[in-house]
């Protein structure tokens, strides 16, 4: 609703494009939060005791994140999720267990999908010019507002009823 108020000066199509783009960004941040929480859960699953020889340590224990506060772990997990989703992949950190590898593969596909939608949204927002249909729709919206004002002013019959009815039929 706040975004709608800020975008009043734009056409309805442009408002819809910008609103859907903002929604996409919020969706990505929310999804990244969920994925970071899942990444933390996967990291905490296998503590790997020192006495076992055939044990794979998860990323939390392999990189000594188990000694750091949970906020630091979450910020790192969020960073890592964005690194994978944006397909940057610095390679500084990676999964260590098979669960983490499978999760990383799924996350990479999610990142490709996000990137495709993002590029399509940006292309749609910046490459559209107001075409004739958009201009007609905007003018019809203005005409509808004008008719509503006429309906309000028609109560005490400020306008002749026949003219009012003709305008109403024409607009409908």
In this predicted model, what pLDDT tens digit does every residue of 74-130 receive, in sequence order?
A: 998 999 898 888 877 777 777 777 788 888 888 888 888 888 887 887 777 666 666
Could you tell me how far CA 73 lies from the centroid of its own chain? 24
**112-116 contacts, C-beta under 8 A, 24 or more apart:** 112/87, 114/28, 114/85, 115/86, 115/87
CB distance 38 to 81 below 8 Å: no
What size, in residues, is the chain?
Answer: 172
Q: What is the mean pLDDT of residues 124-148?
A: 71
Indicate the pLDDT class of residue 5, thresholds 50, 70 and 90.
low
Neighbour tally for 171: CB within 10 Å: 12
Convert the pLDDT of each residue in 22-57 to its tens digit.
Answer: 888 888 899 899 999 998 888 887 666 555 555 667
Helix (H) or strand (E) holding 112: helix 98-126
Helices and strands in the chain, H and E counts: 7, 0
pLDDT of residue 171: 67
Q: How far apart are CA 91 and CA 104, in angstroms?
A: 12
pTM of the model: 0.61
Q: How far apart are CA 54 and CA 79, in angstroms?
A: 30
Convert the pLDDT of each residue in 152-162 to its tens digit.
Answer: 776 666 667 68
């Amino acid at each position: 609703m706040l975004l709608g108020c800020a975008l009043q000066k734009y056409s309805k199509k442009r408002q819809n494009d910008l609103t859907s783009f903002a929604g996409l960004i919020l969706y990505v941040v929310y999804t990244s939060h969920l994925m970071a929480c899942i990444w933390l859960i996967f990291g905490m699953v296998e503590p790997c005791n020192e006495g076992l020889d055939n044990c794979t340590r998860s990323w939390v224990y392999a990189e000594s994140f188990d000694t750091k506060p949970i906020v630091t772990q979450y910020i790192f997990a969020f960073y890592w999720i964005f690194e994978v989703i944006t397909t940057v992949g610095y390679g500084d950190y990676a999964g260590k267990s098979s669960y983490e590898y499978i999760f990383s593969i799924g996350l990479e596909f999610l990142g490709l999908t996000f990137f495709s939608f993002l590029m399509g949204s940006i292309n749609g927002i910046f490459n559209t010019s107001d075409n004739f249909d958009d201009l007609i729709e905007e003018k019809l919206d203005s005409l509808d507002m004008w008719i509503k004002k006429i309906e309000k002013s028609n109560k005490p019959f400020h306008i002749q009823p026949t003219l009012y009815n003709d305008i109403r039929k024409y607009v409908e």
